[in-house]
């Protein structure tokens, strides 16, 4: 009996089954995450999800097939299980690394989108402040800077531009 062939017949179905199971699990559970990354665009999330699954299959199944050959001639059942454990362990490791890499990249995209969303002001600017007068040692009110922080604006604290004022001209 050729133990190498038996090893191939055990290794391929297990590796392919693991790859399909992991891809389906990631696809099903990653859809919600992708929807969030894509700002709720379900069609785009589904398209990206499908492309990621296809890429996952191509990379993993290509690796499984390329890693098929057993280096030495297997002469016993014990050697067969040792070879299979190493091969399947490496396949599982590669599956995990690819999953974490995908997750890391998508999380960076998600964070970038959140930062862009948070940097957008909630309302448009209402007007411009006039440039401050040159400080001559007088109080804040006399220099045109306005009230001290934490104090409500009152008359005499300097001009504050309204919504109809034009922006200051550059000097």
Mean pLDDT of 2-20: 89
Mean pLDDT of 110-137: 70
Residue from 105, 110, 108, 95 nearest 25 by CA: 95
User: What was the pLDDT predicted at 17?
Assistant: 93
Question: Which tens digit of pLDDT belongs to each residue from 56-90?
Answer: 899 989 988 888 887 778 888 888 888 889 889 99
Determine contact, residues 4/74, Cβ cutoff 8 Å: yes
How far apart (Å, rounded) are the C-alpha atoms in residues 85 and 45? 36
Q: What is the DSSP string of 74-116?
A: P-SHHHHHHHHHHHHHHHHHHHHHHHHHHHHHHHHHHHHHHHH
Whether 19 has a pLDDT exceeding 60, the answer reads yes
Residue with more model confidence, 149 or 113: 113
∠ CA 19-97-108, nearest 5°, is: 115
Confidence of residue 32 (pLDDT cuts 50, 70, 90): confident
Does the pTM surpass 0.85? The reply is no
How far apart (Å, rounded) are the C-alpha atoms in residues 49 and 31? 7
User: What was the pLDDT predicted at 168?
Assistant: 59
Residue 116 structure tokens? 């862009």
Determine contact, residues 127/163, Cβ cutoff 8 Å: yes
Whether 157 has a pLDDT exceeding 70, the answer reads no
User: What was the pLDDT predicted at 29?
Assistant: 82
């Amino acid at each position: 009996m050729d133990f190498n062939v038996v090893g191939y017949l055990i290794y391929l179905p297990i590796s392919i089954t693991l790859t399909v199971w992991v891809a389906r699990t990631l696809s099903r559970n990653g859809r919600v995450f992708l929807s969030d990354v894509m700002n709720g665009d379900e069609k785009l999330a589904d398209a990206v999800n499908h492309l990621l699954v296809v890429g996952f299959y191509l990379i993993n199944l290509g690796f499984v097939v390329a890693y098929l050959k057993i280096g030495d001639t297997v002469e016993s059942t014990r050697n067969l299980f040792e070879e299979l454990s190493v091969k399947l362990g490496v396949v599982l490791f590669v599956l995990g690394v690819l999953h974490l890499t995908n997750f890391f990249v998508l999380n960076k995209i998600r964070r970038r989108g959140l930062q862009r969303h948070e940097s957008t002001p909630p309302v448009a600017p209402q007007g411009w402040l006039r440039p401050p007068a040159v400080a001559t040692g007088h109080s804040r009110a006399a220099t045109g800077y306005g009230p001290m922080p934490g104090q409500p604006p009152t008359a005499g604290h300097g001009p504050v531009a309204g919504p109809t004022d034009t922006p200051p001209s550059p000097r």
